[in-house]
Amino acid sequence: MKAVILAHEQFPDRAKTALGVLRYGDHDVVAVLDRDRAGDRVADHVRDVQDAPVVASMADAPDADVLIIGIAPIGGGFEESWRPDVRAALESGMDVVSGLHHFLADDDEFVALAAEHGGEIDDVRRPPADLGVADGVASDVTAEVVLTVGTDCSVGKMTVTEELARAARDRGVDAAVVPTGQTGIMIEGWGTCVDRVVSDFTAGAVEDMILEVGDDHDVLFVEGQGSIAHPAYSAVTCGILHGAQPDSLVLCHAAGRDRVHGYEEYALPDPETYVDLYESLAAPVHEASVVAGALNTVNVDGDGDARGAVADYETALDAPAGDLVRFADDRERVLEAVL
Amino acid sequence: MKAVILAHEQFPDRAKTALGVLRYGDHDVVAVLDRDRAGDRVADHVRDVQDAPVVASMADAPDADVLIIGIAPIGGGFEESWRPDVRAALESGMDVVSGLHHFLADDDEFVALAAEHGGEIDDVRRPPADLGVADGVASDVTAEVVLTVGTDCSVGKMTVTEELARAARDRGVDAAVVPTGQTGIMIEGWGTCVDRVVSDFTAGAVEDMILEVGDDHDVLFVEGQGSIAHPAYSAVTCGILHGAQPDSLVLCHAAGRDRVHGYEEYALPDPETYVDLYESLAAPVHEASVVAGALNTVNVDGDGDARGAVADYETALDAPAGDLVRFADDRERVLEAVL
């Protein structure tokens, strides 16, 4: 499927969703919209993802099947400056996929344009209507369940989930991803945004997904969210932990991060403390062990220093760890510990 | 305010909300509706709550200001057999208060009757429209914050919260309750049903309530929900723990309960394990200690055996504990440990 990704004024550093789709999606990305970087190419900014031209607006983009909103401003609102591009996409019959909190399918103009030209609007954050409380049965599936957990938000849980699933498939393992956030859902083409469901249904929403695919694969890699020690987001983390009933956990961390992102008055506990917290909290529902660690070293200059940071993290965790994007051998070693 | 409480076919044993309002509300309850027990009195069934006649329908009830739906069927739906009573209440200009998942204000007939006769429909489970993620600032309030936590659902957290607040006020302490569930909200006349909010806003919904009243009182008693080891509801429990940022925890348990209610394949961990789980999970956000325990001995026959169960629980917890409803001296001892 040919896709255009909207990332105005935020590509690449604040365009997490755009990068995720470029790196892991099976879309053929024909253009990225960023009016501040028109004329550049993706490859000028990011390695190891598919390349595409960066253009100023839909008028400069090649024909495509879908427009993906690849950025999320704080608050998740729709920026009116994006309206001409969304309008142009719908007028040409394209679908539009959005992970914004503000649903595009609630916008009268967009709904009318989609109806007129035959496109569809997919708000991936809109929860299914038939959710309910968990039955506590996720561990009944035949697949091994691996959950990425984190020391904080934005440490790379989605990326690690995708990397592990790909590496497992390269070894011939039938691995699937269970996506729980908007970027993972756009990449995988299914899933539920767990942070948007009714709180009582948090575990149930994850359980539903595990049951949906858990007997069709050997291993499920479940995308975690937030952190169990986060002052605002821990409820979602806890619901995923108990709803997914994982067998193994991979603890994701960002090198150098020592305060909660956006909540700087809160120090991050030590990695050992996270291991204890996740394992002891999982145990009454379903025993799970932290079998490996994943360290995001994107902010560490030089591979030597990055190797050092990984070694330190491995020692703190007392488990195999690595940067799964930066070092291919790390990816294999972590996968080995997980399988 | 004069109130009629609807509890058809479920009074008193399956009418938790009705009992809560009878025991702790400041409503003058003029009748309970239960067509199976018409002609009885509340006092025939329950001690230590205000007495009222039990009648078959609104036609037999004295004049009142409000009809309270005092029961919740599994699933939280509205039973059509209650419609004549709700209709009669609205036709007489009464307000109707409901904690059902199914909102009465979405029922066209009820909305029309309320508009015509001047009554109001209050669905206490409907979340406020302006919720957001927590800022992590609940501990900034001047009040001491005490949270009731549990080993399971339905162990008495709401009751313990109300008992502690009343006992504290009897000592001259300016104590307030922060209600997080439908019964507590009906008793207190304000609050947010935390299990109904968007999961990402769980902690934020609690934080908002703490900030709203936390500088106006000496002590806040926050009503907990669920259990941190529950296979379905732990997300809500975790969000309340981190959103409220309590200083002290009271661990509530039901004597003899050793399996998760409704999830019998799950054993309850030991009380010590709960203490470790709650304290270690609270610590990264705000340090909290389990300072006391509350044991619901309603299913223990004989005060001697109940005293024995309390003593065992106290030993397991290594903290003062008691049945705050059954034994007045327990209530004082537990309060002493909390204040």
Residue A99's CATH number: 3.40.50.720
Verify that B59 and B199 share a domain, yes or no. Answer: no
Verify that A245 and A293 share a domain, yes or no. Answer: yes
Q: What is residue B223's predicted lDDT score, i.e. its pLDDT?
A: 98
A67 pLDDT more than 80 = yes
* Interatomic CA distance for residues B296 and B265, integer angstroms: 22
B10 pLDDT more than 90 = yes
**Chain A residue with the nearest C-alpha to that of B203:** A232
Verify that A163 and A310 share a domain, yes or no. Answer: yes
Verify that B171 and B296 share a domain, yes or no. Answer: yes
- With respect to residue B102, please indicate whether it lies within any of the assigned structural domains: yes
Of B98, B99, B91, which is closest to residue B119 (Cα–Cα)? B91
Beta bridge mates, B150 = B252
State the DSSP H helix or E strand holding residue A83, giving kind and residue range, or none if neither: helix A83-91
Tell me the CATH number at A154: 3.40.50.300
The residues, ordered by sequence, that sit 6+ positions from A55 with a Cβ below 8 Å of its Cβ are: A31, A32, A33, A38, A61
- With respect to residue B322, please indicate whether it lies within any of the assigned structural domains: yes
Q: Hey, are the CB atoms on B239 and A235 less than 8 Å from each other?
A: yes
The residues, ordered by sequence, that sit 6+ positions from A57 with a Cβ below 8 Å of its Cβ are: A33, A35, A84, A85, A88
* Interatomic CA distance for residues B41 and B53, integer angstroms: 4
Rounded to the nearest angstrom, the minimum Cα separation between B285 and chain A is 6
Q: What is residue A99's predicted lDDT score, i.e. its pLDDT?
A: 94
Verify that A226 and A330 share a domain, yes or no. Answer: yes
**Chain B residue with the nearest C-alpha to that of A131:** B75
A73 pLDDT more than 90 = no
**Chain B residue with the nearest C-alpha to that of A233:** B200
- With respect to residue A320, please indicate whether it lies within any of the assigned structural domains: yes
Q: What is residue A142's predicted lDDT score, i.e. its pLDDT?
A: 98
Verify that A47 and A150 share a domain, yes or no. Answer: no
Verify that B277 and B152 share a domain, yes or no. Answer: yes
Task: Convert A137-161 to b/e letters by CB count within 10 Å (16 or more is b).
Answer: ebbebebbbbbbbbbbbebbbbbbb
- A202 CB neighbours in chain B (<8 A) are 199, 235-236
Q: Which domain holds residue B312?
A: 138-338
Mutate which of B198, B200, B281 to test chain A, going by most A C-beta atoms within 10 A?
A: B200
Let me know: does A324 contact A331? Beta carbons within 8 Å: yes
- Rg (alpha carbons) of chain A, rounded to whole number: 20
* Interatomic CA distance for residues B225 and A71, integer angstroms: 35
Q: Hey, are the CB atoms on B235 and A265 less than 8 Å from each other?
A: no
Q: What is residue A239's predicted lDDT score, i.e. its pLDDT?
A: 98
Task: Provide residues of B within 8 Å CB-CB of chain A.
Answer: 133-136, 194-204, 228-239, 242-243, 245, 260, 263, 265-269, 273, 276-277, 280-281, 283-285
State the DSSP H helix or E strand holding residue A157, giving kind and residue range, or none if neither: helix A157-170
Mean pLDDT of B74-102: 94
B39 phi, psi to nearest 5 deg: 100, -25
Q: What is residue A95's predicted lDDT score, i.e. its pLDDT?
A: 98
Helices (H), chain B: 16-24, 83-91, 108-117, 157-170, 182-188, 202-213, 234-244, 271-282, 303-317, 328-338
Q: Which amino acid is at A189?
A: G
Verify that B228 and B95 share a domain, yes or no. Answer: no
Q: Hey, are the CB atoms on A232 and B134 less than 8 Å from each other?
A: yes
B73 pLDDT more than 90 = no
Mean pLDDT of A190-209: 97
Verify that A111 and A144 share a domain, yes or no. Answer: no
- B285 CB neighbours in chain A (<8 A) are 229-231, 234, 266
How much is the mean pLDDT over chain B?
A: 97
A72 pLDDT more than 90 = no
- With respect to residue B76, please indicate whether it lies within any of the assigned structural domains: yes
State the DSSP H helix or E strand holding residue A66, giving kind and residue range, or none if neither: strand A66-69
Rounded to the nearest angstrom, the minimum Cα separation between A118 and chain B is 32
- B136 CB neighbours in chain A (<8 A) are 231-232, 260, 263, 265-266
- With respect to residue A289, please indicate whether it lies within any of the assigned structural domains: yes
Verify that B90 and B144 share a domain, yes or no. Answer: no
Which of B229, B235, B238 lies closest to A284 in CB terms?
Answer: B229
Q: Which two tokens stand for residue B78?
A: 């509205």
Which of A199, A245, A263 lies closest to B239 in CB terms?
Answer: A199
CA torsion angle for A4, A8, A14, A20 (degrees, to 10)? 0
Last residue of a domain, one of A95, A123, A151: A123
Question: Is beta strand A95-98 parallel, antiparallel or unpaired with respect to A121-123?
Answer: parallel
In tens, the pLDDT along A125-149 reads: 999 999 999 999 999 999 999 999 9
- A135 CB neighbours in chain B (<8 A) are 232, 263
Verify that B308 and B175 share a domain, yes or no. Answer: yes
- With respect to residue A128, please indicate whether it lies within any of the assigned structural domains: no
Q: Hey, are the CB atoms on B200 and A198 less than 8 Å from each other?
A: no
**Chain A residue with the nearest C-alpha to that of B283:** A229
Mean pLDDT of B302-314: 98
Q: How confident is the model at residue B11 (pLDDT cuts 50, 70, 90)?
A: very high
**Chain B residue with the nearest C-alpha to that of A203:** B232
A180 pLDDT more than 80 = yes
Number of folded domains that form chain B: 2
How much is the mean pLDDT over chain A?
A: 97
Of B233, B210, B188, which is closest to residue B97 (Cα–Cα)? B188
- B233 CB neighbours in chain A (<8 A) are 133, 200, 203
Last residue of a domain, one of B74, B93, B123: B123
Beta bridge mates, A146 = A221, A248
Last residue of a domain, one of B99, B123, B147: B123
Let me know: does B197 contact B131? Beta carbons within 8 Å: yes
Which of B235, B277, B280 lies closest to A236 in CB terms?
Answer: B235
Q: What is residue A77's predicted lDDT score, i.e. its pLDDT?
A: 87
Is ipTM > 0.90 here?
yes
- B244 CB neighbours in chain A (<8 A) are none
CA torsion angle for B82, B83, B88, B94 (degrees, to 10)? 80
Q: How far is CA B172 from the centre of its chain?
A: 23
- With respect to residue B132, please indicate whether it lies within any of the assigned structural domains: no
Place of tokens 């059902």: B100
* Interatomic CA distance for residues B209 and A140, integer angstroms: 39
State the DSSP H helix or E strand holding residue B123, giving kind and residue range, or none if neither: strand B121-123
The residues, ordered by sequence, that sit 6+ positions from A259 with a Cβ below 8 Å of its Cβ are: A265, A266, A267, A268
Q: What is residue A221's predicted lDDT score, i.e. its pLDDT?
A: 98
* Interatomic CA distance for residues B237 and B149, integer angstroms: 8
B114 burial type by CB count under 10 A (0-12 exposed, 13-18 middle, 19+ buried): buried
In tens, the pLDDT along A202-233 reads: 999 999 999 999 999 999 999 999 999 999 99
Between the alpha carbon of residue A2 and those of residues A5, A22, B20, the distances in Å are 10, 12, 59
- With respect to residue A11, please indicate whether it lies within any of the assigned structural domains: yes
Verify that B110 and B208 share a domain, yes or no. Answer: no
- B260 CB neighbours in chain A (<8 A) are 136
Let me know: does B144 contact B220? Beta carbons within 8 Å: yes
Mean pLDDT of B83-93: 98
Q: What is residue B75's predicted lDDT score, i.e. its pLDDT?
A: 74
Rounded to the nearest angstrom, the minimum Cα separation between A213 and chain B is 20
